[in-house]
C-alpha cells in the first residue's frame, strides 16, 4: 500500500513539476492504411508512450483499428474488425522515425486499463481518481518514464470506464505525451 501511495505521489509531483515544460503529443503512424489494408470510416489509433532508447529516442506502441460493416445473408449484420499493434520510435519532436511491424501484442498492462471490478487504473495509472464504475469522462496519466530532462507518459481519456480497453476506441483514448524542457 505504501509503495502504491509513493508511486502516486511521485507521479503527481513529476506531472506538477513539468507543468511549465512543453508537452508534445506523439504522432500517429502515417501509413496506418498500408498496415491494415482497410479503412472503413477511418482508422483510429491508440498511442502508448513506453520509454527511451539508449540514444534518447522515444519508444512505444500504436494500436490501429478500423471496423467494416456489411450485411450478411438472411439479413444479418456482420462487422469485421481489422487491427494491428506496431512498435514505434519517435524523435524528441514527437515525429515518427521508425515502425517495427510484426510485433506481438504487447503486455496488456501497457494500456493500464486493468479493471479492478470495473474501475480503470492500477499501478500504471496512479493519477486515476475514479472511485466507482460510474465515474466517467475524466483523464489520468501513466507513471512517467524519465530520461534526463525529458519524460514520456500516456494520457488516458475515459468516456465509459467499464468498457475501456486499448482496442475499444469508442470508450477511451490513449495518447502518448512527451514532456520537453
Measured distance between the N- and C-terminal CA atoms of the chain, rounded to whole angstroms: 32
- Which has the higher per-residue pLDDT, 41 or 62? 62
Q: Which three cell numbers stand for residue 28?
A: 500517429
pLDDT digits (tens, 9 = 90+) for 82-129: 888 899 999 999 999 999 876 767 776 677 655 555 677 777 888 887
Mean per-residue pLDDT, 48-59: 94
Structural domain of 101:
2-180
122 Cβ neighbours under 8 A, 6+ residues apart? 109, 112, 114, 116, 128
Mean per-residue pLDDT, 44-65: 94
Residue 126 burial (CB < 10 Å; 0-12/13-18/19+)? buried
pTM here is 0.79
Give just the sign of the alpha carbon dihedral 123, 127, 132, 136: negative
Nearest to 52 by CA among 146, 130, 122: 146
111 Cβ neighbours under 8 A, 6+ residues apart? 46, 48, 124, 165, 166, 174
> Does 75 score more than 80 pLDDT?
no
The residue behind cell 460493416 is: 69
* Number of separate domains in the chain: 1
pLDDT digits (tens, 9 = 90+) for 117-173: 567 777 788 888 777 777 788 899 999 999 999 999 999 998 888 788 777 778 889
Amino acid at each position: 500500500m505504501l509503495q502504491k501511495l509513493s508511486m502516486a505521489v511521485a507521479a503527481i509531483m513529476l506531472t506538477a513539476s513539468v507543468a511549465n515544460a512543453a508537452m508534445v503529443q506523439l504522432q500517429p503512424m502515417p501509413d496506418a492504411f498500408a498496415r491494415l489494408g482497410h479503412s472503413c470510416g477511418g482508422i483510429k489509433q491508440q498511442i502508448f508512450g513506453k520509454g527511451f532508447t539508449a540514444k534518447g529516442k522515444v519508444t512505444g506502441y500504436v494500436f490501429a483499428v478500423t471496423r467494416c460493416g456489411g450485411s450478411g445473408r438472411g439479413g444479418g449484420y456482420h462487422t469485421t474488425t481489422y487491427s494491428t499493434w506496431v512498435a514505434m520510435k519517435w524523435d524528441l519532436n514527437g515525429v515518427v522515425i521508425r515502425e517495427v511491424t510484426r510485433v506481438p501484442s504487447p503486455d496488456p498492462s501497457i494500456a493500464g486499463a486493468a479493471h479492478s471490478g470495473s474501475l480503470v487504473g492500477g499501478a500504471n495509472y496512479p493519477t486515476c481518481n475514479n472511485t466507482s464504475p460510474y465515474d466517467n469522462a475524466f483523464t489520468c496519466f501513466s507513471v512517467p518514464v524519465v530520461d534526463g530532462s525529458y519524460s514520456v507518459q500516456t494520457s488516458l481519456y475515459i468516456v465509459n470506464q467499464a468498457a475501456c480497453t486499448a482496442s475499444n476506441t469508442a470508450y477511451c483514448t490513449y495518447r502518448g505525451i512527451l514532456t520537453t524542457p
